[in-house]
């Protein structure tokens, strides 16, 4: 379970203070896919980076399975599977070697590691890619490798920052199916995206973030009802445009 | 331990699969012996041989014996210059004027004025001028001695003091130029060879968006830095060892006995050099990682870090021009190792206290760099620079 409590974070850019997070709070429960929706610059990536322990909040806390990230970042990260905003690959390593590398970083070794790697390769249907160097991989293939390395240690919590960006339909489907399977196993999934259809189809609960705080929260249907719109996209625009009275 | 092993394995796999970077890294090791070989050959040639000098003579016909002596010393007339060197010697324009009264003045015992006219500021003709002057003086001195001898004067009267020069240099110190080059190349190899690996594993990884992924993992930044340091410094150390092996092999093809010099890298020297260079390899890589992690892009890292490799070239050069070297130079990285190498090559017994101190100071500075870097990788500035 991921809990974010009253997160505040400011940056100073060109002597001007920019408030990226302004008291953001939410809970992503186990066995659910929680979506974070928000316009560009709303604070999604800052929030997720605070969750990884890369940024320190000015105020508030991020807690993963009861572990406060700022107090024990390494323990908290061990419980996370991360699919970051910008994902790159080690292009001189094969896909298998990359997954192996991340499995070892999470402390897996010996037969258990081998089994975990083979399982994730099978689940993502990437046997043909496994022993090829990742240089020249397509966007979909790169996504699969990143997904595999983030999930090889079977993390209880999985955080994805706009994972479907640049993916074709087939690759998006692979990702969706895999997330659905993960959810069924009782894992906690936090998912940030710009694609409304995807969020509507996949997420159990949606958190709409604007100006560093929550603008609205609920199931996709609840959000549509709240905004009085039939489609999530229209609801999103309405909620972002006038959050007055909605968050209450 | 599992994490550190994985980090190190991955760094080595990446470094050794990047053939181009590895080739650049090892270039220094191959280049050094070749340069030393060519440099030694050229130096021997200059010291041993007396290449022909061409001068424009006026009145050569008045002093046939002088001309014969000059010819014997390979100082020839401009008329004999080969076509390919004609422009060169014409530009050098060494003119020697012998007066038409030469024979008569010689007979009368009067002083003869021979004029040597050229551009004395041209460094390239220093050696030819010195040879011409020596030869004419020898000719004049020989005639002068004969004049005194036939008058029954002991020519030893002309030398009230006889300076006896005794060279105490050990045979190997005659090969100092080779040693100095080797010392410089070893330092350069330590600084240059790990460079592509250090930049690629820091600024390169940042640019390829893999650094953020790594920093999100449950692994301490100290382990990340240590793995990268070990890999880059191993490549640097490999280059140092290769430079040593190839140099001792290539110097074997140069006949140093021609200039009374010997050069050999015995097992002791090699071991001392390797022990001396090991901390420097770590220090150089730590310095490169430190600066390239701060750089915003691969290109910026390349330009900043490349400046660091000037260090090993500048410090030994600066040391050469310093007569009174401050004591602390013995302890600092690069300068300490450079001075110890100089002693080692000259055959002076090793100052083990200085050896230990400079090695410890180098290691301590490396540790400080690693700790600061590991702390910086946790800082928000680094994370914010990722995007």
Same domain (yes/no): A173, A243: yes
Q: Is A89–B216 a contact, with Cβ atoms under 8 angstroms apart?
A: no
What average pLDDT does the segment B78-99 reach? 89
Torsion, Cα of B283, B286, B291, B293 (10° steps): 180
d(CA A81, CA B307): 40
What average pLDDT does the segment B240-249 reach? 86
Look at A49-53, B226-230, B305-309 and tell me which has the smallest mean pLDDT. B305-309
Tell me the β-bridge partners of A97: none
The single-letter DSSP state of residue B296 is S
d(CA B270, CA B276): 10
> Residue A246 has what pLDDT?
41
Q: CA of B371, closest CA in chain A: separation in Å?
A: 18
pLDDT value at B203 more than 60: yes
Chain B residue with minimal CA distance to A97? B10
Which residue among A77, A104, A107 sits closest to B216, beta carbon to beta carbon?
A: A77
Q: Is A15 exposed, middle or buried (0-12, 13-18, 19+ CB in 10 A)?
A: exposed
Which residues of chain A are within 8 Å of residue B231 when distances are taken between CB atoms?
none
pLDDT one-digit tens code per residue, B133-189: 999 999 999 999 999 999 988 888 888 888 887 656 554 455 666 777 788 888 888
> Residue A164 has what pLDDT?
80
Give yes or no for A88 touching B (CB within 8 A).
Answer: yes
Q: Is A86–B17 a contact, with Cβ atoms under 8 angstroms apart?
A: no
The closest alpha carbon to B187, from B324, B284, B87, belongs to: B284
> Residue A227 has what pLDDT?
75
Contact present, B236 and B189 (Cβ < 8 Å): yes
> Residue A198 has what pLDDT?
79
Phi, psi of B321 (to 5 degrees): -90, 0
Same domain (yes/no): A45, A98: no
Percentage of residues in chain A with pLDDT exceeding 70? Answer: 97
d(CA B104, CA B307): 68
**Testing the interface with A: which of B209, B217, B219, B227 to mutate, by most A Cβ within 10 A?**
B217
Phi, psi of A62 (to 5 degrees): -120, 130
Q: Is A54–B215 a contact, with Cβ atoms under 8 angstroms apart?
A: yes
Chain B residue with minimal CA distance to A108? B2
Task: Write the CB contacts of A176 (distance below 8 Å, at least 6 apart in sequence).
Answer: A198, A201, A202
Give yes or no for A92 touching B (CB within 8 A).
Answer: yes
Give yes or no for A78 touching B (CB within 8 A).
Answer: yes
Boundary (domain end) residue, out of A137, A154, A171: A154
Same domain (yes/no): A125, A236: no
Coil, strand or helix at A21: strand
Tell me the β-bridge partners of A17: A12
Q: Is A90–B3 a contact, with Cβ atoms under 8 angstroms apart?
A: no
> Residue B222 has what pLDDT?
95
Chain A residue with minimal CA distance to B200? A90
Look at A89-93, A124-128, B235-239 and tell me which has the smallest mean pLDDT. A124-128
**What is the number of structural domains in chain A?**
2
Give yes or no for A186 touching B (CB within 8 A).
Answer: no
Q: Rounded to 5 degrees, what angle do the CA atoms A210, A212, A218 make?
A: 55
> Residue A245 has what pLDDT?
39
Which residues of chain B are within 8 Å of residue A91 when distances are taken between CB atoms?
208
- The sign of the torsion formed by the CA atoms of B58, B61, B66, B70 equals positive
Which residues of chain B are within 8 Å of residue A45 when distances are taken between CB atoms?
387
Same domain (yes/no): A8, A69: yes
Same domain (yes/no): A147, A244: no
Residues constituting chain B: 387
Q: What is the ipTM of this complex?
A: 0.88
Q: CA of B265, closest CA in chain A: separation in Å?
A: 39
Question: Hey, what long-range contacts does B107-116 have (CB within 8 A, 24 or more apart)?
Answer: B109/B147
Q: CA of B318, closest CA in chain A: separation in Å?
A: 41
Most confident of A3-7, A39-43, B247-251: A3-7
Residue B82's alpha-carbon distances to A139, A141, B88, in angstroms, are: 69, 70, 10
Beta-strand relationship, A59-64 and A2-13: antiparallel
Q: CA of B6, closest CA in chain A: separation in Å?
A: 6
Q: Is B217–A105 a contact, with Cβ atoms under 8 angstroms apart?
A: yes
Which residue among B5, B210, B386 sits closest to A89, beta carbon to beta carbon?
A: B210
Largest CA distance in chain A: 56
Q: Report residue B38 as tokens.
A: 């060519």
Which residues of chain A are within 8 Å of residue B215 when distances are taken between CB atoms?
52, 54
pLDDT value at B225 more than 90: yes
Which residues of B, range 178-217, sit inside 8 Å of A by Cβ? Answer: 205, 208-210, 212-213, 215-217
Q: Is A104–B219 a contact, with Cβ atoms under 8 angstroms apart?
A: no
Q: Is A84–B212 a contact, with Cβ atoms under 8 angstroms apart?
A: yes
Same domain (yes/no): A52, A130: no
Tell me the β-bridge partners of A159: A82, A190
Chain B residue with minimal CA distance to A79? B218
Give yes or no for A111 touching B (CB within 8 A).
Answer: no
Torsion, Cα of B148, B149, B152, B155 (10° steps): 70
Which residue among B18, B210, B217 sits closest to A88, beta carbon to beta carbon?
A: B210
Percentage of residues in chain B with pLDDT exceeding 70? Answer: 91
Same domain (yes/no): A161, A105: no
Q: Is B218–A55 a contact, with Cβ atoms under 8 angstroms apart?
A: no
Contact present, A92 and B17 (Cβ < 8 Å): yes
**Testing the interface with B: which of A43, A56, A92 to mutate, by most B Cβ within 10 A?**
A92
Give yes or no for B13 touching A (CB within 8 A).
Answer: yes
> Residue B126 has what pLDDT?
85
- The sign of the torsion formed by the CA atoms of B282, B286, B289, B295 equals negative
d(CA B340, CA B334): 10
Give yes or no for B2 touching A (CB within 8 A).
Answer: yes
Give yes or no for A80 touching B (CB within 8 A).
Answer: yes
> Residue B158 has what pLDDT?
83
Q: Is B13–A92 a contact, with Cβ atoms under 8 angstroms apart?
A: yes
The size of the A-B interface in CB pairs under 8 A is 84
Q: Is A230 exposed, middle or buried (0-12, 13-18, 19+ CB in 10 A)?
A: exposed
More confident residue, B117 or B327: B117
Contact present, A67 and B369 (Cβ < 8 Å): no
pLDDT value at A206 more than 80: yes
> Residue B266 has what pLDDT?
77
Domain spans, chain B: 8-43+172-384, 50-158
The closest alpha carbon to B27, from B300, B238, B250, B294, belongs to: B238
Give yes or no for A65 touching B (CB within 8 A).
Answer: no
Run of H or E residues at A157: strand A157-161
Boundary (domain end) residue, out of A154, A186, A209: A154
What average pLDDT does the segment A209-230 reach? 82
Give yes or no for B219 touching A (CB within 8 A).
Answer: yes
Contact present, B280 and B188 (Cβ < 8 Å): no
Same domain (yes/no): A107, A5: no
Query: What is the residue range of A50's domain?
Result: 1-12+20-79+156-248
Give yes or no for A12 touching B (CB within 8 A).
Answer: no
Which residue among B5, B9, B18 sits closest to A92, beta carbon to beta carbon?
A: B18
Same domain (yes/no): A196, A244: yes
Pure H helices in A87-138: 95-105, 110-123
Same domain (yes/no): A173, A239: yes
pLDDT one-digit tens code per residue, B286-326: 999 998 888 878 888 888 888 877 777 777 777 777 777 77
Same domain (yes/no): A2, A24: yes
Q: For B84, what's the count of Cα atoms within 13 Å in the CB-facing half-sphere?
A: 0
Same domain (yes/no): A196, A220: yes
d(CA B117, CA B129): 10
Contact present, A50 and A69 (Cβ < 8 Å): yes
Contact present, A78 and A106 (Cβ < 8 Å): yes
Q: Is A101–B18 a contact, with Cβ atoms under 8 angstroms apart?
A: no
- The sign of the torsion formed by the CA atoms of B120, B122, B123, B126 equals negative
Q: A84 — alpha (psi -120 to 50), left (phi > 0) or beta?
A: beta
Tell me the CATH number at A34.
Answer: 3.40.50.300
Which residues of chain B are within 8 Å of residue A85 when distances are taken between CB atoms?
212, 387
pLDDT interval class at B256 (50, 70, 90)? low
Boundary (domain end) residue, out of A138, A154, A170: A154
Contact present, A134 and A95 (Cβ < 8 Å): yes
Contact present, A139 and A166 (Cβ < 8 Å): yes
Can you spell out the DSSP letters for B18-63?
Answer: -HHHHHHHHHHHHHHHHHHHHHHHHHHHHHH----EEEEEESGGG-
């Amino acid at each position: 379970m991921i809990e974010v409590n009253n997160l505040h974070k400011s940056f100073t850019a060109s002597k001007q203070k920019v408030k990226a997070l302004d008291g953001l709070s939410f809970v992503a429960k186990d066995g659910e896919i929680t979506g974070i929706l928000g316009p560009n610059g709303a604070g999604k990536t800052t929030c997720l980076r605070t969750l990884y322990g890369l940024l320190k909040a000015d105020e508030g806390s991020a807690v993963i399975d009861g572990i406060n990230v700022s107090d024990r970042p390494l323990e908290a990260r061990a419980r996370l599977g991360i699919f970051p905003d910008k994902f790159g690959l080690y292009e001189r390593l094969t896909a298998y070697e990359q997954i192996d590398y991340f499995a070892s970083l999470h402390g897996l070794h010996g037969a258990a590691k081998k089994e975990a790697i083979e399982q994730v390769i099978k689940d993502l249907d990437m046997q043909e890619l496994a022993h090829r160097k990742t240089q020249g991989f397509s966007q979909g293939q790169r996504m699969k490798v990143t997904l595999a390395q983030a999930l090889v240690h079977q993390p209880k919590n999985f955080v994805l920052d706009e994972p479907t960006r640049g993916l074709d339909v087939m690759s998006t489907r692979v990702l969706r199916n895999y997330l659905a399977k993960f959810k069924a196993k009782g894992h906690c999934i936090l998912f940030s995206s710009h694609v409304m259809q995807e969020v509507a189809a996949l997420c159990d609960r949606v958190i709409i973030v604007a100006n560093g705080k929550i603008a609205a929260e609920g199931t996709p249907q609840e959000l549509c009802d709240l905004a009085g719109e039939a489609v999530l996209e229209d609801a999103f625009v309405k909620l972002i445009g006038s959050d007055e009275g909605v968050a209450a | 331990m599992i994490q550190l092993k994985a980090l190190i394995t991955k760094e080595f796999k990446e470094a050794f699969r990047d053939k181009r970077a590895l080739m650049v890294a090892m270039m220094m090791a191959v280049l050094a012996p070749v340069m030393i070989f060519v440099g030694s050959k050229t130096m021997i040639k200059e010291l041993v041989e007396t290449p022909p000098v061409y001068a424009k003579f006026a009145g050569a016909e008045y002093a046939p014996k002088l001309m014969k002596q000059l010819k014997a010393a390979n100082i020839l007339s401009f008329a004999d210059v080969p076509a390919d060197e004609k422009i060169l010697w014409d530009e050098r324009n060494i003119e020697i004027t012998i007066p038409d009264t030469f024979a008569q003045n010689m007979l009368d015992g009067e002083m003869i004025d021979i004029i040597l006219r050229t551009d004395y500021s041209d460094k390239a003709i220093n050696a030819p001028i010195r040879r011409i002057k020596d030869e004419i003086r020898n000719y004049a001195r020989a005639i002068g001695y004969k004049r005194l001898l036939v008058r029954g004067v002991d020519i030893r009267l002309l030398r009230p003091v006889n300076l006896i020069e005794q060279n105490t240099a050990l045979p190997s110190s005659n090969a100092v130029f080779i040693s100095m080059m080797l010392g410089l190349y070893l330092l350069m190899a330590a600084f240059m060879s790990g460079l592509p690996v250090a930049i690629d594993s820091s600024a390169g990884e940042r640019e390829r968006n893999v650094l953020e992924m790594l920093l999100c993992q449950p692994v301490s930044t100290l382990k990340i830095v240590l793995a990268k340091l070990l890999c880059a410094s191993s490549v640097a150390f490999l280059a140092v060892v290769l430079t040593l092996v190839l140099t001792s092999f290539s110097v074997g093809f140069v006949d140093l006995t021609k200039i009374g010099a010997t050069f050999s890298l015995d097992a002791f020297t090699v071991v001392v050099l390797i022990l001396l260079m090991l901390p420097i390899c770590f220090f150089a890589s730590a310095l490169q990682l430190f600066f390239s992690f701060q750089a915003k892009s691969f290109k910026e890292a390349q330009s900043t870090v490349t400046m660091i490799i000037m260090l090993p070239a500048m410090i030994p050069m600066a040391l050469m021009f310093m007569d009174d070297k401050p004591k602390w130079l013995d302890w600092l990285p690069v300068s300490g190792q450079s001075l110890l190498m100089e002693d080692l090559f000259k055959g002076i017994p090793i100052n083990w206290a200085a050896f230990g101190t400079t090695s410890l100071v180098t290691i301590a500075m490396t540790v400080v760099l690693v700790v600061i870097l590991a702390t910086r990788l946790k800082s928000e500035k680094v994370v914010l620079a990722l995007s």
